[in-house]
Structure 1
């Protein structure tokens, strides 16, 4: 079988876009094959276990992309708060530049929809959130935040990121993201549990 060298990437790009815009359940393999302009055999060649394997690959790919951007902001930011603010402002720019198309909260895309149907997909989504939280937590620990508080704050920041992006997409307006930018320093200034 002759497979285009870019067939795997075309399938992943198309599947990610369709999962983001239509959801996991509404996206069929036939549509992915058609929209990616790939031979049917190439999908099964690269993803022999079908849709779930393809979704897992998309989840991992999305996680790596976001974690890389987040890590860059956390490493180059003057403080953890400034790194997170930079990351959110980048999300806001991407959302506006794309007219709010294709920038979807991870939780909206797969975590909620797939966690009930597959333990493997649920575990992969859980791992994504933990990975992102770990990037934030590492920087907070470097800045002297105690571990328990760093864990709590990192979880809250990921929730803030996901929630503000969901609102921005719903309103088709970057204001919820800009509001999140403003609240980050206060969120990270808390040092003890009340």
Structure 2
């Protein structure tokens, strides 16, 4: 693994597991086993490293969701499949909530650069719901409702350290889909 990738990998693990504000640059340097000058060569600031982390997390999340959805054929199966994705995620031992929601709660409101990346990722998830439902002649309201249910259940799954919120959200999603038919 090259130096830049090792730095991002280490920062990603630390930012996700212990939080952005609780992770110092010196800890990243030590655990990535790189020189301080190497880190600053690639990432002039901690904020630049955060941006790289969010971009990598976005790419990985989107790819994982796309691959997960390939096994479903109907819109209803895909929507409930997204909740199954979340259930499996919430049941993993590494689960610590949503990378993006974790960061947005830690950064200052003035950090528009990072906030824009998080909004972009959240809009992508909203788009996934809209895209799934567009051939079913549903309006965007249902997609937004499902998206909010998805994100809220992810936060609740973190709070309760359990997948029951995601399981309950899946049941509500099924009811919303049945009502929309």
TM-score by length of 2: 0.85
Unaligned runs of 5+ in 2: none
Residue 161 of structure 2 corresponds to 172
How many residue pairs are counted as aligned between the two chains? Answer: 181
Listed as ranges, the matches of 1:154-169 within 5 Å are 154-169=143-158
Distance 2:37 2:95 in 1: 27
Q: 1:79 aligns with which of 74, 79, 90?
A: 74
Residue 127 of structure 2 corresponds to 134
Cα distance change of structure 1 residues 73 and 168 upon mapping to structure 2, 3 Å threshold: same
Runs of 4+ with >6 A deviation: none
Cα distance change of structure 1 residues 58 and 107 upon mapping to structure 2, 3 Å threshold: closer
Cα distance change of structure 1 residues 189 and 45 upon mapping to structure 2, 3 Å threshold: farther
Deviation of 1:107 after TM superposition, in Å, equals 4.4
1:153 aligned to 2:149?
no
Tell me, yes or no, if the aligned pair for 2:65 and 2:85 is still in contact at 8 Å.
no
Tell me the secondary structure at the aligned position of residue 113 of structure 1: coil
Cα distance change of structure 1 residues 108 and 61 upon mapping to structure 2, 3 Å threshold: same
